[in-house]
Chain A
């Protein structure tokens, strides 16, 4: 069987090579070392006009992972909030959540994206008339500008913020949960909270923040969230959250009401019942379809090319393909990336599923 598949693949590969040769097209991956000669409006890694196509690939890849990861986290968070709201006992909350879900779930993602870009972001003021918030944060149709640590302070600031957040989260996890307190527990939690807040406060106070200022055509200094990224992030978040909310609702409602009533009879608080009794059981039903939604989200992030966010599809499958004409190589590499990302998400979910399934003996 495997041999048959391998033979089939070899035949196809040979066919492609012959066809390319017959049509006079050059082949191979050598172009990855050639200079690309175009710039990108946004990149997490250093990339310039003199970078190679290989580097452009990496820059596009990191942008794709960046946008997909951000959207994944925010869509999940919003989806769970809306999902819980759908099962709320308060009617207006339920109604608002239902409206959100039914509106976004039944519109094409592309339409949501174009609406956000063309109507919401375009209606922001032009850069010279940017809205200012205390002369620190500026909002215009070229993006949101906010202060950022100066280059030589950025690393220290980053480390301080990560450590500080770590300590604060640690303090939250160490918080005393039983009515019986030992002074040791309280002490550890308080100490962690103190160190964490000290780190965060000193970051704000001692780091040299660069404020954005309007010079010439645009704001310089500080950091900027470009509107293309914001539009894509917003669209992916809202659209996917509407589906995730339904998965969450289905999961929550699948847990037998008797369990909730029993817990209430024991005098447990509603938030405790939701977190520790309903949600763990609901998760078993939520996660498998949630994986599907994640896979969809990762692939849909390629709509970046519509709004002009330089993700992998836009810079590599778009610009690089047109400049080099290496269709077979570039399409194969791009497909490989999405395949790998989606399979990675699916395998994480499968592992979680295996761990959390009911242990029946």
Chain B
């Protein structure tokens, strides 16, 4: 009887192993499959990855997945969106059930070094802040001594929160739940006094409140939150593709290439650097294992970085977030791409 149970246990474990052991070039797998499996939020992250009225994924991170699919497969619709709670996201990437994450994952040293992942750049430079109700009268994070703070479990925000209150010598009670919508519900019910997350996230979650105008984001930013696409480190070529998809968006803004104008620019431009970038000259796509017109497909899919940002998070969106440091380096921001050469 006992051995019987043991045997079943072993059989069960063994069945799980090959999944965990799956390795090999992700890029080839994506090409063979014809679809990119992209890990996104559970649809709650307005402006980053959310479902619209007709069931389509929209938002900055959802569109970034489309850009990568466009680069590899030439088809921005060849994306299988996999909604993941944050606490399951890393395990899903490790096990191979998604090819990449575009899920507001903060790049940190220990995650980079220990999880077996690579951050293929930073697509949003964010920082952690607090969302409070205006009725509470709180105007600065320094007034939050003794407060209950809602936070999503397993995130860097949970750690930054602890650091901040420890540094300031203040006390707090963390109300830790698995998903941001639960935190928002807790904030709305008065279960906690503030909800902490990346400021960009707060701006969009605020829209999910029944009365967004009654809540405000405190001016304090307590951390650096570089958010970027995450890939497994077993396929450096795939990492390069994701990295250069991001660079392509930045370079496109730099060159003034837009979603609608890129096809014509590719056909007519005489600037050598633009010709190399758009595949009219040289074999730069092939060096990445991609078709030569990969950059054109990327820009046609989502527009350049500026268009993408403004449409999903910025002035043309409900969230209305200012670009801040998410601007080209030449305009005083942090976005900088290496040359295509």
Decide: B146 and A220 in contact? CB cutoff 8 A: yes
Decide: A321 and B87 in contact? CB cutoff 8 A: yes
CA separation between A82 and B15, bound complex, in Å?
A: 44
Which of A8, A308, A319, A327 lies in contact with B182, CB distance below 8 A? A308
CA separation between A8 and B12, bound complex, in Å?
A: 13
Q: Given contacts A217-B193, A327-B94, are A308 and B23 in contact (CB under 8 A)?
A: no
**Interface residue? B178 (CB, 8 A):** yes
Decide: B176 and A319 in contact? CB cutoff 8 A: yes
**Which chain B residues (80-123) contact chain A, with CB distance < 8 Å?**
86-87, 90-91, 94, 110-111, 113-116
Which of A8, A12, A325 lies in contact with B111, CB distance below 8 A? A325
**Interface residue? A314 (CB, 8 A):** yes
**Interface residue? B154 (CB, 8 A):** yes
CA separation between A308 and B155, bound complex, in Å?
A: 15
Q: Given contacts A19-B20, A141-B190, A308-B182, are A216 and B94 in contact (CB under 8 A)?
A: no
Which of B13, B87, B174 lies in contact with A38, CB distance below 8 A? B174
Decide: A49 and B163 in contact? CB cutoff 8 A: yes
Decide: A217 and B147 in contact? CB cutoff 8 A: yes
**Interface residue? A5 (CB, 8 A):** yes
**Interface residue? B330 (CB, 8 A):** no
Binds B, one of A20-28, A166-174, A281-289: A20-28
Decide: B159 and A314 in contact? CB cutoff 8 A: no
Residues of A within 8 A of B21 (CB): 15, 19, 22
A17 to chain B, nearest CB (A): 11
Q: Given contacts A16-B17, A49-B166, A325-B90, are A39 and B174 in contact (CB under 8 A)?
A: yes
CA separation between A122 and B190, bound complex, in Å?
A: 9
Decide: A37 and B163 in contact? CB cutoff 8 A: yes
CA separation between A8 and B111, bound complex, in Å?
A: 32
A115 to chain B, nearest CB (A): 14
**Interface residue? B234 (CB, 8 A):** yes
Q: Given contacts A215-B146, A322-B90, A327-B91, are A306 and B3 in contact (CB under 8 A)?
A: no
CA separation between A305 and B185, bound complex, in Å?
A: 16
B182 to chain A, nearest CB (A): 7
Which of B13, B113, B162, B173 lies in contact with A41, CB distance below 8 A? B173
**Interface residue? A126 (CB, 8 A):** yes
**Which chain A residues (189-223) contact chain B, with CB distance < 8 Å?**
215-218, 220
Residues of B within 8 A of A321 (CB): 87, 91, 154
- Interface membership of chain A positions 293-311, coded 1 if the CB is closer than 8 angstroms to chain B and 0 otherwise: 0000000000001111010
B75 to chain A, nearest CB (A): 29
**Interface residue? B329 (CB, 8 A):** no
**Interface residue? B172 (CB, 8 A):** yes
Which of A39, A127, A322 lies in contact with B86, CB distance below 8 A? A322
Total count of chain A residues near the partner, CB < 8 A: 48
Residues of A within 8 A of B148 (CB): 142, 217-218
Residues of A within 8 A of B175 (CB): 41, 228, 308
**Interface residue? A323 (CB, 8 A):** yes
Residues of B within 8 A of A26 (CB): 113-114
Residues of B within 8 A of A308 (CB): 175-178, 182, 186
Residues of A within 8 A of B176 (CB): 40-41, 308, 310, 314-315, 319
CA separation between A89 and B27, bound complex, in Å?
A: 72
Decide: A227 and B20 in contact? CB cutoff 8 A: no
**Interface residue? B317 (CB, 8 A):** no
Q: Which of A8, A24, A220, A315 has the most CB of B within 10 A?
A: A24
Residues of B within 8 A of A8 (CB): 10
Which of B10, B162, B189, B233 lies in contact with A5, CB distance below 8 A? B10
The chain B residue sitting closest to A15, CB to CB, is B17
- Interface membership of chain B positions 274-287, coded 1 if the CB is closer than 8 angstroms to chain A and 0 otherwise: 00000000000000
Cβ contacts A to B, 9 pairs, < 8 Å: A19-B17, A22-B234, A141-B190, A142-B190, A142-B191, A217-B144, A227-B191, A307-B177, A308-B177
